[in-house]
Structures are given as C-alpha cells and as structure tokens.
Amino acid sequence: MHINLIKKIIEEAIGKQAIELIEILLKKRNVNEFIIAKKLKLTINQTRNLLYKFSEKGVISFTRKKDKKKGWYTYFWTFEVDKALLFVKNCLMKEIEYLKNTLKSRENKSFYICKNCNIELTEENALLTDFSCKECGEILSLNADKKLIEEITRKINKLEQQLNIIDEEMGRREKETGKKMERDIKKKKTEKSKKLRKARLKRRREAKKIIKEKDARKKGKKIKKAEKNKK
C-alpha cells in the first residue's frame, strides 16, 4: 500500500498530528482512546478533537464500551483503509480540477502586474484604472509568466500520477474483496450441499427402516394366519 502518499494527503487535510495518529492506528484495530492520548502525549480532550476531525472525513471508525461502574463510554478507534483511499482520491481530484481551472484562465485571460507592489490584476480590473496601479500609480505591465503555467502543468501531472496510484490500489483491494466474497460463497455452498446430502441419507435410512418394519409385520401376520389355518 502507498501509505506515505495517504499519510501526506491526510496530513494536508487534517494537520501535522495526522501522521502520528495514522501510524498508531495502522498497527492495530480498535485502539483505546486513552492509549492514543498517551502515545500522542496529548490530553484526552485534545485527542478526541483530533479523532473527531478524522472521523468527520470518514477515514476512521469507532466502537464504544460502557464502563458499568462509572457509567461513561470509552471509544476504540480503527483506521479504515478503503475509506481513506476514497478520501485521498477526492482530495486529489478536487485539487486537480482547481489547478486545471486556474490553468485555463491563465491561458485564456491576460493578467497585469504592478512590479512595485507585486499586485496582480485581471485585464478587466486593470482597465478600470487605465492600466496604472491603484496603490502607487505605476504603469501596470502584462504578466505573461510562462513559468507559472509550466509550474501548474507540472503540478497537475504529478497529482494525476498520484491519482493513478490510488486508483490502482483501490482496484486491487476491490478485486481482493471480490475474491474473498467468492470464496465465502463457495464455502457456504459446499456446506449447504453437505447438509442436504446428510439429510437425504438420513431420510433414506429411515425409509428403509419403515419398509423393514412393515415387512416384518406382514410376515408376522402371515405366520399367525398359517397357525390359525392349521388349527
């Protein structure tokens, strides 16, 4: 699994402590929140805040147990890899879309810049001030920064590569789950047919028994009749 990529993107979405928390939850399922707090060196409230942030994004899940004496709940947390992958995929897609829009407007529209104040304006806004800076009066110049376009393009390419990695991982995991389900279904089928066979054999044995008993009764009657006739 490309866990570093997942960690990095969740860190961007949630914050620095995300990585430590993921590392704790990757080792074990159903981790007690007090143990998490101890490992993160946070108070239980800080820990819960962090856990809720994760939980909001859907990448972790919990079970809870009630302390019968004290009457409160303790929460146990589990990292949900499939949901984390989906979350990461959505983050990447959003970012790519945003960058593509930026690129489009960069390519289609003109931007003007004041070199003194380092302020950038769209052509429409630059027209309003007759192409001079509102702050210092300097004449605005066309900002045809090719570097910026190249940079955005590079970034999009990189994110698309990451998206591919995540898609592949999701596909692989889906296949695995599919195979497991197939195995489970097969297993159930064999168990069912075994049961049916057993039942069939049992019925056959019982039928044979009944026939035998009937035969025995018939024989018994015949003998009695014969004895009667003799008399």
Residue from 3, 128, 136, 223 in contact with Zn ion (CB under 5 A): 136
Give yes or no for residue 138 binding Zn ion (CB under 5 A). yes
For residues 165, 8, 51, 88, the Cα torsion angle rounded to the nearest 10 degrees is -30
For residues 184, 89, 85, 150, the Cα torsion angle rounded to the nearest 10 degrees is 130
Rounded to 5 degrees, what angle do the CA atoms 66, 77, 180 make?
Answer: 115
Q: Which is nearer to Zn ion, 136 or 201 (CB)?
A: 136
CB atoms within 10 A of CB 51: 19
- Considering only residues 97 through 126, tell me which ones interact with Zn ion, judged by CB under 5 A: 114, 116-117
Only segment of 47-55, 84-92, 134-142, 154-162 that touches Zn ion (CB under 5 A):
134-142
- Residues in Cβ contact with 74 at an 8 Å cutoff, skipping those fewer than 6 apart: 32, 33, 34, 64, 65, 67
133: left (phi over 0), alpha (psi -120 to 50) or beta: beta
Nearest-approach distance from CB 124 to Zn ion, in angstroms: 18
Q: Which is nearer to Zn ion, 37 or 114 (CB)?
A: 114
Nearest-approach distance from CB 139 to Zn ion, in angstroms: 9
The CA distance from 23 to 222, in Å, is: 86
Nearest-approach distance from CB 117 to Zn ion, in angstroms: 3
Q: What is the total count of residues that contact Zn ion (CB under 5 A)?
A: 7
Interface pattern 194-213 for Zn ion (x via CB under 5 A): --------------------
Nearest-approach distance from CB 133 to Zn ion, in angstroms: 3
Which residue's C-beta sits nearest to Zn ion? Answer: 133
Residue from 22, 50, 113, 133 in contact with Zn ion (CB under 5 A): 133
Q: Which is nearer to Zn ion, 118 or 229 (CB)?
A: 118
Name the DSSP letter for residue 79. E
The strand order across the sheet containing 60-66 reads 31-32, 73-79, 60-66
Residues of this chain that bind Zn ion (CB under 5 A) = 114, 116-117, 133, 135-136, 138
